[in-house]
């Protein structure tokens, strides 16, 4: 991951390079270099193509981070203390935030397509907490939804022209909470657009159209959500706009710009045209205002989840400190946390592996397990949701049964790099099934509460089914019709 | 005092089979330790009838569920029972004791079974093509054949629709029952000249019964408003015209009358016949039972009627259905081909990579898996609404259930009630409210 190592030893910001970079004073590389022959500022140590790749990988990390944080925030809503008259509104806020998280998933996938077309390694990694990466809009935190966290989300998704009295108030609240100015995600995409649209920065030859069969499409990943098309359409169950997944394959500069603009507009649109869904900014602002109106009632609609829950050992931690991890010590919750992490890694491994296998409509003779990997990526999303639902009902601490609740851990694995041989990639899947198997056995021995036993029985069986498939693919490696155009790091 | 009678079940569907011994009873249940597996078939108490006496000779639980006998399919032969609604609003089985209490006896009961096969007449519109069977009044306990006759049949020819038998009550089995044994599942043919004696020349048919010189069924072609959607769902010759085949399926009414205390109480039930169950360990995603439930209870259930258990059952039936589909082929044939006439140029419905049957089945299993955690369903938006069956946009064609055709020739939907039950839960909390430590789990 870009900013992970060495986290503690990040070079100091070079103040002399703060003038016109994409994220001024936000990182060791991001200040502008001297204007060069291509007419734009590219930092030292980069050329134009490489700099775009760098920024895209930053964008991937950010989209991934936002997705995890928004999911955690959404899952924190609800619980036994929600007043009956507010249940419907709470459910709507929850679905609004889940919808934004799903759209961030679309952004993450589209950014992978952009990396792929530029012949660059894809980026499914992201920084873990505790994290103060200067590249992110704000430090990565898993925390229950609050007026303060909403302020940060609104600011991160905000458009540049948002500067009225309310804007200043929310920005101040966000800065007070996060300890710094919250960066606009849109700024990064604006910079990317300005770089990609110039052939002098990224030459035509950098766009490798032959990679399109390896890229993700809405057809494969859209799952019935809207195809980023215009035209407001309500969800069928709640009176909310249906999420639109922007998943665009990219084969050319024009398509790259279309994709970047679509992602940027979905985030920060200021004025919503009458026939379009609200931007993330608008949706968060709506929830913010509702939370503001709740006043002290916020506590009733949010589960008391510990902040930054982790299965790792920490130096104490504080369940209410936003910037320190909280070790889950409740035995059952801790096992669920481990299982959550394994399934999270499975999700990311499936996603990453799917990009290694082509689906070429012009080649009707070759089928790959790409479809199975795509389906399993979604299956793991369902698993994460299920395990999160079990965790938010358990205490985080063994010593405080009525204390803060545990929450989904979203801990990053030590690596997401895939082996180069296809059979070895399937062995990674088997390794993860083994790890899951051990945790399921431990949890079943620990006599989990509530719905845990039913879920674990089904999960064990589902893993058995997947294992059978994986063993077959290890034994008979799937032929790759063409070499992967993008070697993984 | 008996106020009214009922025949239960009100609709009994037999299954064809040529074996002499009817199918034994079984339950299809879910193994709680293998919740994603197919249902396992557990032998259940079975009534064995002695055809000669009409009595239930014994009851037993078979050691295994066996669907064939010497290579022949065992028919499903349902019992129809008479129940009595008494003055105290109790619905109870009508028995010899209850009859005696009313001053009546088994001799006061009369059955009559009238069935028909309307498959030809509903197309040709010729009343002389209606094949019917009527037992007349049945008061004894012998086997009564259901002999399907038709004005357009050759003289002396009939299609055996099976038989019925009024089960003789005994001290051990005092209930009032009738058993329907369906036809054997044969095909019958047509000819323009009187069929010669001996086996028919057409090896597909059991017998030649239809006089094609009088009726129009052989050589019939779909035309006019009676055409089914899709059309031509009968055996065709090389020229695309009907071969004149008929089958031994039928449906109709089973009536029972009780003469008691100067009153005639009566009730009726319905019988029909379906094909053998070749995947008895699963259920289709939408069944006649779903239609009946919607007709009976309405399309808009109250929110409290929706349970996670019902949603799980629907999802289970989805993957039980998917496993029987060649989804890769159906993605480009089936509805994809059907949509050609609507402006889609045989375009695949789903992305090619996604339609591997095994992978799809596992995906649907994982939906059930997640529901087992007690969390609410989330997939309401991908369900096709009843008024979206003609939506041929990419998104519309990909809604669920996908790749399947409804009775109107459009993309299949769940019933409005099935959809509403799922949506009712989607509107509720994502996770159960109660904390895990104090929670016994979600009610199933």
Each residue of B138-150: pLDDT tens digit? 999 999 999 999 9
Q: Per mean pLDDT, which range of A58-62, A483-487, B91-95 is the poorest? A: A483-487
| C-alpha A116, offset from chain centre | 18
Secondary structure string (H, E, C) spanning B167-182? EECCCCCCECEEEEEE
Averaged pLDDT for residues A429-448: 95
- The residues, any chain, with a CB within 8 Å of residue B389's CB and separated by 6 or more, are B406, B408, B410, B411, B412, B413
Helix axes A331-354, A370-391, angle to 10 degrees: 160
Compute how many other C-beta atoms are within 10 angstroms of the C-beta atom of residue B427: 18
Helix axes A452-475, A422-445, angle to 10 degrees: 160
Nearest to A290 by CA among A86, A101, A152: A86
**A75 chain-B contacts, CB cut-off 8 A:** 430-431
Across the interface, of A224, A374, A390, the residue whose CB is closest to B436 is: A390
Q: Is the pLDDT confidence value at A284 over 70?
A: yes
Averaged pLDDT for residues B184-201: 96
Identify the three-state secondary structure at position A332. Answer: helix
CA distance B215 to B212: 5
Nearest chain A Cα distance for residue B278, angstroms: 23
Side-chain half-sphere exposure of A73, counting CA atoms within 13 A: 29
- Give yes or no for B431 touching A (CB within 8 A): yes
Percent of chain B with pLDDT over 70: 97
Q: Per mean pLDDT, which range of A151-165, A267-281, B10-24, B177-191 is the poorest? A: A267-281
* Beta carbons of A138 and A156 less than 8 angstroms apart: yes
- Give yes or no for B433 touching A (CB within 8 A): yes
- The per-residue pLDDT for A320 is 67
DSSP code of A272?
Answer: P
Q: What is the CA radius of gyration of chain A?
A: 22
Nearest to A410 by CA among A180, A80, A152, A73: A73
Q: Is the pLDDT confidence value at B43 over 50?
A: yes
pLDDT tens digits, B370-429: 998 988 888 888 899 999 999 998 888 989 999 999 888 889 999 999 999 998 888 888
- The residues, any chain, with a CB within 8 Å of residue A402's CB and separated by 6 or more, are A395
Nearest to A276 by CA among A240, A234, A230: A230
- The residues, any chain, with a CB within 8 Å of residue B137's CB and separated by 6 or more, are B110, B111, B112
> pLDDT-based confidence at A483, cuts 50/70/90?
low
Compute how many other C-beta atoms are within 10 angstroms of the C-beta atom of residue B227: 12
Averaged pLDDT for residues A435-444: 97
Q: Is the pLDDT confidence value at B283 over 90?
A: yes
* Beta carbons of B61 and B44 less than 8 angstroms apart: yes
- The per-residue pLDDT for B103 is 95
CA distance A114 to A486: 12
Nearest to B444 by CA among B373, B362, B383, B361: B373
CA distance A332 to B436: 10
Retrieve residue B182's tokens: 């369906």
| C-alpha A387, offset from chain centre | 18
CA distance A322 to A152: 13
Q: Where are the alpha helices (DSSP H) in A355-417?
A: 370-391
- The per-residue pLDDT for A243 is 79
CA distance A128 to A118: 27
- The per-residue pLDDT for A349 is 97
- The per-residue pLDDT for A9 is 31
CA distance A220 to B34: 30
- Give yes or no for A348 touching B (CB within 8 A): no
**Which domains can be identified in chain A, with CATH numbers?**
16-303 (1.20.1260.10), 304-489 (1.20.1260.10)
CA distance B386 to B397: 13
Q: How many residues in chain B?
A: 444
* Torsions phi, psi for A272 (to 5 deg): -90, 120
Tokens 């993330």, located at residue: A280
Nearest chain A Cα distance for residue B41, angstroms: 19
* Beta carbons of A406 and A392 less than 8 angstroms apart: yes
Where are the extended beta strands (E) located within A303-366? 309-310, 326-327
Contact B353 A376 (CB under 8 A): no
- The residues, any chain, with a CB within 8 Å of residue B338's CB and separated by 6 or more, are B230, B405, B409
Segment 124-143 of chain A within 8 Å of chain B by CB? none
Nearest chain A Cα distance for residue B349, angstroms: 10
Identify the three-state secondary structure at position B271. Answer: strand
Identify any residues that bridge with B255 across adjacent strands, giving them in sequence order.
B112, B268
- Give yes or no for B374 touching A (CB within 8 A): yes
Averaged pLDDT for residues A268-273: 66
Segment 392-421 of chain B within 8 Å of chain A by CB? 394-395, 398-400
* Beta carbons of B194 and B113 less than 8 angstroms apart: no
User: Which one of B31, B388, B428, B431 makes the best mutation probe of the A interface by having the most chain A beta carbons within 10 Å?
Assistant: B431
CA distance A127 to A133: 8
* Beta carbons of A334 and A394 less than 8 angstroms apart: no
Compute how many other C-beta atoms are within 10 angstroms of the C-beta atom of residue A376: 27
Q: Is the pLDDT confidence value at A265 over 60?
A: yes
Interior angle at CA B226, CA B222 and CA B231, nearest 5: 45
> pLDDT-based confidence at A484, cuts 50/70/90?
low
Retrieve residue B155's tokens: 């003289």
Retrieve residue B250's tokens: 């039928």
| C-alpha B229, offset from chain centre | 20
CA distance B210 to B156: 11
- The per-residue pLDDT for A367 is 62
Interior angle at CA B154, CA B153 and CA B160, nearest 5: 60
* Beta carbons of B353 and A220 less than 8 angstroms apart: yes
Nearest chain B Cα distance for residue A41, angstroms: 42
- The residues, any chain, with a CB within 8 Å of residue B295's CB and separated by 6 or more, are none
Nearest to A126 by CA among A420, A419, A413, A487: A413
Side-chain half-sphere exposure of B155, counting CA atoms within 13 A: 1
Compute how many other C-beta atoms are within 10 angstroms of the C-beta atom of residue B72: 14
Q: Searching chain A, which residue's CA lies closest to the CA of residue B359?
A: A372
Contact A462 B362 (CB under 8 A): yes
Retrieve residue A279's tokens: 């931007």
Interior angle at CA A31, CA A29 and CA A32, nearest 5: 115
How does DSSP assign A18-30, residue by residue?
-SS-SSTTSSSS-
Side-chain half-sphere exposure of A126, counting CA atoms within 13 A: 25
Helix axes A165-178, A147-156, angle to 10 degrees: 110
CA distance A92 to A269: 21
Identify any residues that bridge with B117 across adjacent strands, giving them in sequence order.
B131
Compute how many other C-beta atoms are within 10 angstroms of the C-beta atom of residue A231: 9
Retrieve residue B42's tokens: 């557990």
CA distance A187 to A206: 23
Helix axes B357-371, A370-391, angle to 10 degrees: 0
- Give yes or no for B303 touching A (CB within 8 A): no
DSSP code of B382?
Answer: G
DSSP code of B302?
Answer: -
- The per-residue pLDDT for B233 is 86
- Give yes or no for B35 touching A (CB within 8 A): yes
Question: Residue B338 class from Cβ within 10 Å (0-12 exposed, 13-18 middle, 19+ buried)?
Answer: middle
Contact B362 A375 (CB under 8 A): yes
Across the interface, of A371, A379, A455, the residue whose CB is closest to B373 is: A455
- The per-residue pLDDT for B342 is 77
- The per-residue pLDDT for A486 is 54
Averaged pLDDT for residues B23-29: 96
Q: Searching chain A, which residue's CA lies closest to the CA of residue B435?
A: A393
CA distance B105 to B261: 11
- The per-residue pLDDT for A15 is 36
Which strand (E) or helix (H) includes residue A474? Answer: helix A452-475
- Mean pLDDT (chain B, rounded): 92
């Amino acid at each position: 991951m870009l900013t992970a190592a060495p986290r503690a030893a990040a070079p100091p910001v070079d103040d002399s390079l703060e003038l016109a970079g994409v994220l001024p004073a936000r990182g060791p590389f991001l200040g502008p270099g001297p204007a060069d022959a291509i007419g734009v500022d590219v930092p030292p140590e980069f050329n134009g193509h490489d700099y775009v790749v760098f920024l895209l990988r930053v964008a991937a990390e950010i989209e991934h981070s936002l997705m995890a944080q928004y999911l955690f925030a959404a899952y924190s809503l609800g619980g036994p203390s929600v007043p009956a008259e507010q249940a419907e509104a709470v459910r709507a806020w929850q679905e609004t935030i889940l919808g934004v998280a799903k759209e961030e998933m679309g952004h993450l996938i589209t950014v992978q397509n952009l990396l792929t077309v530029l012949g660059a390694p894809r980026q499914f990694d992201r920084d873990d907490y505790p994290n103060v990466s200067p590249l992110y809009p704000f430090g990565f935190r898993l925390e229950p939804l609050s007026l303060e966290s909403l302020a940060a989300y609104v600011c991160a998704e905000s458009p540049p022209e948002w500067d009225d009295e309310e804007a200043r108030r929310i920005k101040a609240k966000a800065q007070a909470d996060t300890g710094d100015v919250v960066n606009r995600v849109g700024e990064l995409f604006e910079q990317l657009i300005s770089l990609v649209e110039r052939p002098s920065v990224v030459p035509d030859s950098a766009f490798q159209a032959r990679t399109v069969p390896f890229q993700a499409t809405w057809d494969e990943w859209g799952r019935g959500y809207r195809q980023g098309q215009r035209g407001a359409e309500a969800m069928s169950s709640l009176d909310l706009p249906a999420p639109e997944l922007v998943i665009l394959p990219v084969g050319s500069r024009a398509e790259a710009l279309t994709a970047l603009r679509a992602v940027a507009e979905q985030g920060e649109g200021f004025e919503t045209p009458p026939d379009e869904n609200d931007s993330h900014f608008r949706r968060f602002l709506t929830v913010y205002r509702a939370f503001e109106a709740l006043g002290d009632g916020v506590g009733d609609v949010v589960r008391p989840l510990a902040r930054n829950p982790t299965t790792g050992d920490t130096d104490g931690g504080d369940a209410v400190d936003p910037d320190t991890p909280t070790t889950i010590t409740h035995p059952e919750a801790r096992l669920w946390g481990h299982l959550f992490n394994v399934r999270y890694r499975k999700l990311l491994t499936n996603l990453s592996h799917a990009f290694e296998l082509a689906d070429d409509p012009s080649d009707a003779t070759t089928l790959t397990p790409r479809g199975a990997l795509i389906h399993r990526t979604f299956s793991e999303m369902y698993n994460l949701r299920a395990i999160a639902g079990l965790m938010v009902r358990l205490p985080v601490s063994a010593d405080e049964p009525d204390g803060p609740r545990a929450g989904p851990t979203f801990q990053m694995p030590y690596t997401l790099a895939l082996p180069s041989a296809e059979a070895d990639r399937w062995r990674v899947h088997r390794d993860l099934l083994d790890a899951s198997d051990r945790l399921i056995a431990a949890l079943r021995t620990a006599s989990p509460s509530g719905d845990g036993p039913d879920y674990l029985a089904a999960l064990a069986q589902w893993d058995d089914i997947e294992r059978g498939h994986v063993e077959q693919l290890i034994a008979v490696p799937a032929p790759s019709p063409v070499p992967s155009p993008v070697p993984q790091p | 005092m008996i106020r009214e009678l009922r025949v239960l079940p009100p609709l009994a569907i037999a299954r064809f089979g040529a074996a002499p011994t009817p199918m034994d009873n079984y339950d299809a249940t879910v193994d709680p330790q293998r919740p994603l597996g197919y249902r396992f078939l557990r032998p259940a108490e079975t009534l064995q009838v002695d055809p000669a006496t009409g009595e239930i000779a014994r009851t037993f639980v078979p050691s295994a569920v066996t669907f064939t006998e010497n290579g022949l399919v065992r028919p499903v032969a349902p019992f129809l029972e008479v129940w009595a609604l008494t003055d105290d609003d109790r619905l109870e089985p009508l028995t010899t004791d209850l009859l005696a209490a009313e001053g009546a006896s088994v001799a006061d009961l009369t059955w009559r079974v009238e069935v028909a096969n309307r498959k030809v007449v509903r197309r040709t519109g010729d009343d002389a093509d209606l094949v019917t069977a009527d037992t007349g009044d049945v008061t004894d306990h012998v086997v009564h054949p259901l002999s399907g006759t038709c004005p357009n049949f050759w003289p002396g020819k009939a299609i055996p629709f099976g038989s019925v038998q009024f089960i003789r009550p005994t001290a051990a089995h005092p209930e009032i029952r009738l058993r329907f044994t369906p036809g054997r599942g044969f095909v019958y043919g047509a000819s323009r000249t009187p069929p010669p004696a001996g086996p028919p020349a057409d090896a597909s048919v059991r017998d030649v019964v239809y006089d094609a010189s009088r009726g129009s069924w052989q050589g019939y072609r779909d035309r006019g408003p009676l055409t089914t959607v899709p059309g031509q769902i009968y055996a065709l010759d090389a020229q695309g015209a009907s071969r004149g085949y008929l089958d031994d399926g039928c449906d109709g009414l089973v009536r029972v009358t009780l003469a008691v205390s100067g009153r005639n109480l009566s009730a009726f039930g319905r019988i029909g016949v379906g094909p053998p169950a070749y995947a008895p360990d699963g259920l289709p995603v939408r069944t006649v039972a779903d239609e009946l439930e919607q007709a009976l209870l309405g399309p808009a259930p109250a929110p409290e009627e929706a349970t996670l258990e019902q949603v799980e059952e629907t999802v289970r039936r989805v993957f039980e259905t998917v496993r029987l589909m060649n989804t890769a082929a159906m993605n480009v044939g089936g509805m994809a081909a059907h949509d050609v006439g609507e402006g889609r140029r045989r375009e695949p419905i789903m992305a090619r990579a996604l339609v591997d049957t095994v992978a799809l089945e596992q995906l649907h299993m994982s939906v059930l898996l997640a529901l087992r955690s007690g969390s609410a369903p989330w997939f309401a938006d991908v369900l096709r609404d009843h008024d979206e069956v003609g939506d041929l946009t990419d998104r519309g064609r990909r809604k669920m259930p996908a790749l399947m055709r409804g009775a109107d020739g459009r993309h299949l939907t769940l019933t409005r009630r099935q959809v509403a039950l799922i949506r009712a839960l989607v509107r509720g909390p994502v996770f159960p409210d109660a904390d895990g430590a104090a929670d016994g789990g979600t009610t199933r």
